[in-house]
Structure 1
Amino acid sequence: MALFGRKKREPLTEEPEDLDAVRPEPAEGEPGVDRAWDRAGDGPYDVAEWPELDGRIDLGALRLPAVPGMQMRLDLEQGSGRVVGATLGFGASQAQLQVFAAPRTLGLWDELRPDIARGLVEAGGAAEVVQGVLGKEIRARMPGRAPDGRVAFQPARFLGIDGPRWFLRVVVNGPAATDDAQLRPILTFLRGTVVRRGDEPRPPRELLELTAPEGVVEAAAKQAQARREAAQKAAAEQGARPTQVLRSADATAVSGVSPSAPTGPPADAGRHRPPEVPDAPKAPSNPEFT
């Protein structure tokens, strides 16, 4: 199921009006805890709201804070090699960021939550829409294979943020998927993220391609080749193929929740296809997607 497939006869997003956006001062208290999260005041910001981009990692449509100790992986689309997302590592937790074009007046998150939840359940997992720090979010459990071959379920948390003519989707894996305390460094990171959508008209749900910093793609390709060669050498020495291990980012490549659905399969689509699990947990009754 194409999660971000374009609807029939859906018009292109209109040209923007030549107006200067104003960033309101954040209210007192911790957003999402002491008060409701206000996107315009608490972030992530549009470039018109926060034009001071110095010190941020330039990925084109996304400008990310440079956090000491944070790891970053660029997610490439298979075949084209386009950069379709960025996965950030915060200790044992990860957060994948992808940004999409959206209509001027309506956000996408209310529309997409039921589609994502249904796709997760159809893939053999479970999903529930709950009230989180940023508003409504999806808590999910996805099936996969553990090293010993048994079925193992991993948690994932789907966050959606509607901005001016863009939509930011964040998929959280690891301890932060279930622990709000572990989620705080990711939320702090999101508060410093800036989106630069561009002025050209785009159809709603179109994935905004990212650009890699100079030399990053080439270096990543060399590192990936070196890892493949090392794995092949180790397998030859052991006389057996290396065992696949359930990876923390697998929840972003399941059927129906493909991060690059509008433009093609993600780079690792199908590499860890969820098995058929007769006794997989079913989604709880929830008006959001039943």
Structure 2
Amino acid sequence: MFGRKKNKGRDDGEEPQYEDEYTEYDEYDDEYEDTEYDETAYADDEFEDSDYDDAPVAAGDRTGPYDYEDVADNLETVAEQRLDLGSVIVPVPPGGQLQVEMTPDGTPQAVHLATQHGRITVAAYAAPKSPGQWRSVAADLAETLRKDGAQVAVTQGPWGRELHAVTEGADLRFIGVDGYRWMVRLVAAGPSGAADENTPLVAAARAILGETVVRRGDEPLPVREPLPVVLPQELADQLAAAHQQQLAAQQQAVQAQLTAMQGGQPYQPAPQNTEPRRGAEGSAMQQLGLN
């Protein structure tokens, strides 16, 4: 939709070859079941020289993800079809619903696109200028998944290596792409079989990633640092209003419970006696010789 990526730091007119690149596994912390995957087929050196060595897609077939600076002038024409989350701008599939994941302090942590086939999550991370971060991240992720009992296969996709993980709770596919000082990672999660090759969920995930725009910004950040998620103002206002309604409902529930405990009478705190306490020998102040 936006055309080819601009050349980053090259004068020969050729497009840079982007190799591909997750650091966290919190969101799918499930137990895993045995499958027909052959673990011996994917040894520890699978991320070195192998058949999945990030074979590039032909330049004429390559789409996004795009760098914001390369396509900013064209974004206005498709703004209504996309969701601007600050660090990433993603297309919303027909019928897709938004699910916002918040931190305990109320900061948006992730935004998921719920579709009829499964859930898709796109996030961006800081990376070096040179490509290669996805390769190391994918290796770390695969190791973590297997230690947790998942069955993991390394497959080949439009941008190179992808991870396909089978778990007890969901089937997952991780797709990563290196850009200029950023790495974008997509997670597609669905029921058993949903993350297999040539499924509607995987097709939708690749289509979304191919039209994603990454806004890296100029701020220096550590490698693998997640780029911040910023909600559109309208969505942020809706979440704030919903949070206030939830707090009000909780307060009403507590008040109703206290009223029921008081036999139907509104709860009244017990009056506190402000008079000096008197004992057998007079008031407390008198006993201390202060009166």
TM-score under structure 2 normalisation?
0.58
Of the three residues 111, 114, 130, the one matched with 1:89 is 114
> Equivalent residue of 2:239, what SS?
helix
Alpha-carbon distance between aligned partners in 1 of 2:221 and 2:57, rounded to the nearest angstrom: 30
1:169 aligns with 2:194: no
Q: Report Cα offsets for 1:110-163 as digits up to 9, x if no partner.
A: 1111110111122222212122233111111223xxxxxxxxx42111111111
Residues 256-288 of structure 1 deviation map (CA, whole Å, 9 limit, x = unaligned): xxxxxxxxxxxxxxxxxxxxxxxxxxxxxxxxx
2:69 equivalent to 1:44:
no
Q: Specify the code of the residue in structure 1 equivalent to 2:109.
A: V
| Aligned residue identity for 2:161 | K
**Paired residues for 1:57-206 under 5 Å:** 57-76=83-102, 78-143=103-168, 153-174=169-190, 176-182=194-200, 183-206=202-225
Runs of 5+ consecutive residues of structure 2 not aligned to the other structure: 1-7, 16-55, 254-291
1:215 offset after TM fit, Å?
Answer: 3.3
Judge conservation of contact 1:101–1:203 (CA < 8 Å) in 2: yes
Contact 1:160–1:168 (CA under 8 A) maintained in structure 2: yes
> Is contact 1:120-1:142 (8 Å) kept?
no
Distance 2:143 2:116 in 1: 30
Paired positions, count: 194
Partner SS, residue 48 of structure 1 = helix
Tell me how far apart the structure 2 counterparts of residues 190 and 133 of structure 1 sit (CA, whole Å): 10
Per the alignment, do residues 119 and 80 of structure 1 end up closer, same or farther by CA in structure 2, a change over 3 Å counting?
A: same
Q: What stretches of structure 1 of length at least 5 have no aligned partner?
A: 1-16, 25-34, 144-152, 234-290
Please give the per-residue CA displacement for 1:62-108, whole angstroms capped at 9, x wherever unaligned: 112243322122222x2233223221123222111111000011331
User: Of Structure 1 and Structure 2, which has the larger fraction of its residues in helix?
Assistant: 2
Q: Which deviates more, 62-71 or 195-204?
A: 62-71
Question: Could you tell me how far 1:206 is from its partner in structure 2?
Answer: 0.6
Q: Which has the larger radius of gyration?
A: 2
Q: Give matches, 1:205-244, under 5 Å.
A: 205-220=224-239, 223=242
Runs of 4+ in 1 over 3 A off after TM superposition: 37-41, 220-230
Q: Is residue 92–residue 113 contact of structure 2 (8 Å, CA) maintained in 1?
A: no
Conservation of the 8 A alpha-carbon contact between 1:23 and 1:41 = no
Where relative contact order (Cα < 8 A, 6+ residues apart) is larger, the structure is: 1
Contact 1:60 1:210 in 2 (8 A): yes
Matches of 1:226 and 1:37 in 2, distance apart?
A: 52
In 1, the alpha carbon distance for the partners of 2:94 and 2:130 equals 37
Q: Cα 1:161–1:37, aligned 2, differ >3 Å: closer, same or farther? A: farther
What residue identity is the alignment partner of 2:57?
A: A
Separation in 2, partners of 1:40, 1:206: 30
Q: Distance in 1 between matches of 2:149 and 2:245?
A: 34
Once residues 243 and 167 of structure 2 are traced to their aligned partners in structure 1, the CA distance between those partners, rounded to angstroms, is 26
Q: TM-score, normalised by structure 1?
A: 0.58
Q: Secondary structure at the match of 2:146?
A: helix
SS of corresponding position for 1:106: coil
Aligned AA for 2:186?
V
Give RMSD over aligned pairs. 3.2
Whole-angstrom CA distance in 2 between matches of 1:41 and 1:162: 13
Cα 1:199–1:140, aligned 2, differ >3 Å: closer, same or farther? same
**Match for residue 284 of structure 2?**
none
